[in-house]
Chain A
Amino acid sequence: MHILMMSLYAAVTATVLATIESKPDNFRQRLIHGLKVFAAFMGIGLILSWILFPIPW
């Protein structure tokens, strides 16, 4: 459930940010930008979860 919600959150955020980003000139660049944002959200989320897992509170 957690990973599903995180993926959905990252997908919505990445799509909106890629849509309103001004730098990409064409669809392909915009798509790559969105995928990078999505990957950043997922990667940082997973890293943080691994770091926080051993902490008891």
Chain B
Amino acid sequence: MQSRNDVSESLAGRYGSRKSPPPAADLKPYPMATRVIAVVLAWLVPGAGHLVLGRIGRGLLLLVLLVGSFYFGLFLHGKLYVPVAADPPSPIHFDLISILWSFAQVGAGLCYVVAHAIGLGVTGRPESPTYEYGNTFMFLAGLLNYLVMIDTFDIAAGRRR
């Protein structure tokens, strides 16, 4: 009977070409605390995770694009979504679409919190011709920032430059 190591080696030999390439020697993983801090910062301020990890150009570009996109959406009379109670009542209590839209916008981190705190876009202006454009840009900023957070973690874990 083959031991577990033998089986592993046999499979590795058979599927060797499918293995992911080894990381480059200069890619050094950061400590777990730094990874967590970088990801949290990346959520709070889009691009800040990259800045903390020394990717200054990338971080600044993401900061300008994502924060700009979010506030451009507010400028176009977009609305800040919060989960609201379902009407008629549902088993999950909240209206599902409001949960999804809130999730998309919350991805922008402090942009969302600050806009909420100063009352920007809290009521929304559905009668405005740019209302839907505004919402779309705000969703875009939040959802792209989730991808940026994943990228930040990958950099901190030493998986990419």
Contacts and interface: CB of A to CB of B under 8 A. Distances in A.
Contacts, number: 35
Interface residues of A, number: 11
A16 interface: yes
Interface in B117-161: 129, 133, 136-137, 140, 144, 147-148, 151, 154, 159-160
Given A9-B136, A9-B140, A22-B154, A16 B160 contact: no
A16 B64 CA distance: 11
Interface of B is mostly: helix
Interface of A is mostly: helix
Interface residues of B, number: 18
Interface of B: 58, 61-62, 65-66, 69, 129, 133, 136-137, 140, 144, 147-148, 151, 154, 159-160
Given A9-B136, A16-B144, A20-B151, 20 more contacts: A1-B129, A5-B133, A9-B140, A12-B140, A13-B144, A15-B61, A15-B65, A16-B65, A16-B66, A16-B147, A16-B148, A17-B144, A19-B61, A19-B62, A20-B62, A20-B147, A20-B148, A22-B151, A22-B159, A22-B160
